[in-house]
Amino acid sequence: MKRVFKKLIFATIPFLLVGCGPTPTVTSDDKKAEQVDTNPDNNNNNGSAEENNNNNENNNNNNNNGSDEENNNGAHNHEWNNTYESDENNHWFKCKTCNEKKDEAAHDFNEWEVTNLGTLLNDSRYNVNNIKKRKCKVCGYEEKASILPEIRFTFDKNDTNKDFATKARSTDKTRPSVSGKISVTNVGEDMAITDAVATMKVRGNQTAGFDKKGLQIKFDKKQSMLGVNGGKKFKKWVLLADAKDTTISRTALGLTMAKGVIAENSKVFSCDYTPVSVYLNDEYWGMYMLADAKEVKEGRIKLDEPIIETKDENGKKVETPVTTTDIGYCFEMDYYAKNEPDKGADGDPTFSIDYGSYFNKNSFNIESCLANSGLGVVNTYTMNSDINDGPSNAHIDDKNSNQVKFIKNRLQALFTVLAEASKNNVAKDINDNNEVVSTTLSVKQTIEKNFDLNTWAEGFVINAVCLPPDVGYSSFYMSFDNTANGNKQLRFDNPWDFDSNFGNRRNFIEKPDEVSQSSGGWGGGSSFDPYFMDRTANMWLQLLGKLDFFMNDYVKPKWNAARENKTFEKMLGMLNVYYEYFDEEYDRNFKKWPTTQASDNNVGSYFNGDGVNSGELRKPFVNVNDRKQAQQETINWLTKRVNYLEKRWGNNRPSVTADK
């Protein structure tokens, strides 16, 4: 069976790579025709193609002499095609000259063949059997459908209403969590879960303002979920809604890309995922992406969180987190850091650094409404890993936590070292007290010493392809391992949050391969250079991108490795599978959630407190009814983007669209 699918992918991908979108309903496919016995009634079929053509001409000549009726009393000599035409229900032979059908009959299907994306894309990571297809024995027509796993959350109290999942706003200080049980159904026995104790709550910042909200699951006991992340067990999992993505594929695209760009031995963690259907108390709740929670844990974000183990008076093991500064730090560049103090015990520690005189809006030429509309460049950070030596919600620049103080001072020093190198071509280093000091190292040496450039190259490539409008704003993660075994280098980590990317956002980079004009909003009326990376409001990416050795020695090899392992072909192939198999899932989802709420007809402001904004998306991504067009545009956009970056960084490979 495997061989069949491998064959299929070669037959399928060219369709897609040519950019013609959803594979059309099969009408006449040569390969399928080969499987079909020649129709015995079709006398014209005995000759060569040339003879057939002659016959056609003769027929045409005959027809030109008058109408069919005059010639033959409505019964001209039909000349039947020798391949079947078909729609989703029937197959038939069509006359070459009129539209008469012959031998029309319902498809006679073989059994369903259950398979998965991994088999189609030759990638064992996507091993959930979530798609199926069957072939008509007669005409070869293929019916394709999804069999998405179902994640069913049932509340403990039957009378609990679903307010927790519908009422949350992006600015809510706390998100109520509801207790209940989770079952995973519509899967094989090996992946099924029955009534596992768990809680659920709404997750996310701005996205929590949409009707279809992201959800977080927290199991009582660690659970493996649908083979995600190699089947490792964790308590926390997330369900991403992709609420502003009419293709519900951007999370999948982004995370698939991350897996392809990030080297196997890289320190960068990227979340794994699989598409699912979600039910709350047996009510269908939509198509979601089940994904890893972005937490620092063995098997997820790779950082040491040293624990001191002692025993209490009864000999029972006691684990105490280390309170010195020699721990692993993971943090997010985060516009929303300012909201953390309001969350009380739920809040995370935050800190800020000062970009000082190195940041100058004019000299940096930043393209972002955030910078241009007075919000400036985000210099606040929220801890993702635990801080153990202060109040759990040690807030911006808390003076009582040495750990927060340490990472704040180290990041400040790292920024200064990078800015001196990039803006002034001056080499600086950092001493044990996190002070910037002079050095005999070269600029290149000092950057290579203080930054894990392989991880930054991975982050640079990922962001350059998918172009997140908000990469200078939030959901941008970095780590610093200050444990005894840590490399004490700043690293890019955990690529995250893809729903505005890949050309979804209006007034951003709509043309991924040529300069385009913005009409205001996000771009503040500027023109967009499609390269963007040297104008992003993300200071780290912008400053690194201006260092020639970083681009030549790190980014370009990383790009070429991603091309060699067919990362982008795989992404396009994945989109194709979504097109062909998930139709009913999309229909069901959009029946439940008929608008993205990021569309033109919603009034209000982006920052009005409920996350609903006045038109965040560009056409054709605005209206869920334009889904097919949106999927096609996503393919076109990605194809153009890859070809553009190939010209800039690559080895002149042929267009990704013409690869096969």
Binding site for Zn ion (CB under 5 A): 78, 91, 95, 97-98, 100, 107, 136, 138-139, 141
CB of 92 to Zn ion, least distance (A): 9
CB of 55 to Zn ion, least distance (A): 12
Quick one: 108 or 156, whose CB is closer to Zn ion? 108
Q: How many CB atoms lie within 10 A of CB 605?
A: 10
Quick one: 104 or 342, whose CB is closer to Zn ion? 104
Gap between the Cα atoms of 589 and 612, Å rounded: 19
Q: 146-166: string of b/e by CB count within 10 Å (b at 16+)? A: bbbbebbbbbeeeeeeeebbe
Selection from 197, 257, 190, 268 nearest residue 227 by Cα = 190
Quick one: 100 or 342, whose CB is closer to Zn ion? 100
Q: In what order do the strands lie in the sheet with 85-86?
A: 85-86, 90-94, 101-106
Q: How many CB atoms lie within 10 A of CB 303?
A: 24
Quick one: 103 or 298, whose CB is closer to Zn ion? 103
- Please check whether residue 367 is in contact with residue 511, taking contact to mean a CB–CB distance below 8 angstroms: no
CB of 247 to Zn ion, least distance (A): 30
List phi, psi (to 5°) of 198.
-160, 165
CB of 79 to Zn ion, least distance (A): 7
CB of 115 to Zn ion, least distance (A): 20
Quick one: 25 or 365, whose CB is closer to Zn ion? 25
Quick one: 25 or 625, whose CB is closer to Zn ion? 25
CB of 133 to Zn ion, least distance (A): 14
Gap between the Cα atoms of 369 and 508, Å rounded: 10
Gap between the Cα atoms of 612 and 604, Å rounded: 7
Q: How many CB atoms lie within 10 A of CB 356?
A: 12
Quick one: 63 or 388, whose CB is closer to Zn ion? 63
Gap between the Cα atoms of 376 and 386, Å rounded: 28
Gap between the Cα atoms of 402 and 388, Å rounded: 9
What does each C-alpha distance from 80 to 39, 56, 103 come to in angstroms? Answer: 9, 11, 11
- Map tokens 């303002």 to a residue: 209
Quick one: 78 or 213, whose CB is closer to Zn ion? 78
CB of 91 to Zn ion, least distance (A): 3
Selection from 255, 143, 316 nearest residue 501 by Cα = 255
- Element at 164 (helix H, strand E): helix 163-166
CB of 107 to Zn ion, least distance (A): 4
Angle, helices 556-564 vs 627-649, to 10°: value is 130
CB of 112 to Zn ion, least distance (A): 15
Quick one: 92 or 155, whose CB is closer to Zn ion? 92
